[in-house]
Amino acid sequence: MKAPFILAVAGGKGGVGKTTVAVNLAAYMADRGLKLLLVDADVDNPNDHVNLGLEPVKLKDITVFAPVIDARKCTRCGTCARECPEHALLAAPGREPIFFEDRCSGCRVCQLVCPEDAISEGHKALGHIFRAREGEGSLELLGAELKPGEARSPLVAKALMDEVLARLGNARGGYDVVIVDCPPGVSNTVVQAMRHARLALLITEPTPLGLSTLKLALKVAEKLSLPAYLAVNRADISGHGLKAVEELAASRGLPILARVPFDEAAVRASVEGVPVVRLEPRSRAARELVRLAEVVLELGVMRGQPQRELEKP
């Protein structure tokens, strides 16, 4: 079984249209006959299923180790609290340690250093992995959602990508293309989402903030030695801003694959929960997104990735 082409769709800030681009690329490629896995790695606010009009189904919880202290064995020595790197355990003299769940990373140091073997393995849920599919179609969605109040987004994103890798290594997968809709920003959560990609498509907009955060996104791609390409969303809202983005791209040798115009059709599609390439395929935004999808597929083939015989639109 050949490996699929893995594309990371990322952007330095939220609101630039990253999810819109990822969902429309996935929908178009699936409609052309490719078996497509769309990964919603924005674990703090996953909404790809909303943009596709799908109802997600929970697959499994994402859990990490949490200490369970046996009061009968514990001698109140305080070793676990002293050695805990996150200070998730507080040990007052002569008292059983108090556990602060929100600080714990699940490293197990407390269990390893306890001289009385008084700490056993428990679990706490950080979030869950979910799945959705378009009927009998070729588009499958896999995502994860952080549990409200939790602050371990990178661990949830890593668990999601581990699940993706497990599916890619399983013969029942057989995907042609995997599109990872990355979270906004440039945090460790983004790195977890991008780390298995073969190509990064960076989405920006022609605004000062869009330009500034694009520079940060480029640094992430460079750290991962990931070939990067650019798509400008709402490209026609500012001629001056577009020129600034183009100048940056030229100075970095960054190819601009698409300039998606502002289009009310895209707004209507978002409201209705339908990709614009399906709702209004003749609109300006849809035509440019289709062109972008074809270019991305060509890049995947150029990099030695498999591609099925495409159906005619």
pLDDT 10s digits, 55-108: 999 999 999 899 999 999 999 999 999 999 989 999 888 888 999 988 888 889
Within the chain, all domains assigned CATH 3.40.50.300 are found at 5-61+135-302
Mean pLDDT within 275-282:
96
Within the chain, all domains assigned CATH 3.30.70.20 are found at 71-117
Q: What is the pLDDT of residue 38?
A: 97
CA distance linking residue 296 with residue 111, whole number of Å: 48
pLDDT band at 301 (very low <50, low <70, confident <90, very high): low
HSE-up of residue 93 (Cα within 13 Å, Cβ side): 0
pLDDT digits (tens, 9 = 90+) for 261-271: 999 999 999 99
DSSP H helices in 32-67: 48-52
Q: What is the pLDDT of residue 312?
A: 39
Q: In degrees, to the nearest 5, what angle opens at C-alpha 196 toward C-alphas 63 and 176? A: 105
Query: Residue 218 pLDDT > 70, yes or no?
Result: yes
Query: Residue 146 pLDDT > 50, yes or no?
Result: yes
The number of beta carbons lying within 10 Å of the beta carbon of residue 1 is 11
Contact 178, 39 (CB under 8 A): yes
Q: What is the pLDDT of residue 308?
A: 43
Q: What is the pLDDT of residue 37?
A: 95
- Main-chain dihedrals φ then ψ at residue 249, nearest 5 degrees: -60, -45
Q: What is the pLDDT of residue 307?
A: 44
Q: What is the pLDDT of residue 253?
A: 92
Q: Whole-model pTM above 0.85?
A: yes
Residue labelled with tokens 């959705």: 132
Domain 5-61+135-302 fold: Rossmann fold (3.40.50)
Q: Exposed (0-12), middle (13-18) or buried (19+): which is 286, by Cβ within 10 Å?
A: buried
**CA-based Rg of the chain, rounded to a whole angstrom?**
23
Percent of the chain with pLDDT over 90: 73
Architecture label for domain 71-117: 2-Layer Sandwich (3.30)
Contact 287, 261 (CB under 8 A): no
- One-letter amino acid at 11 equals G
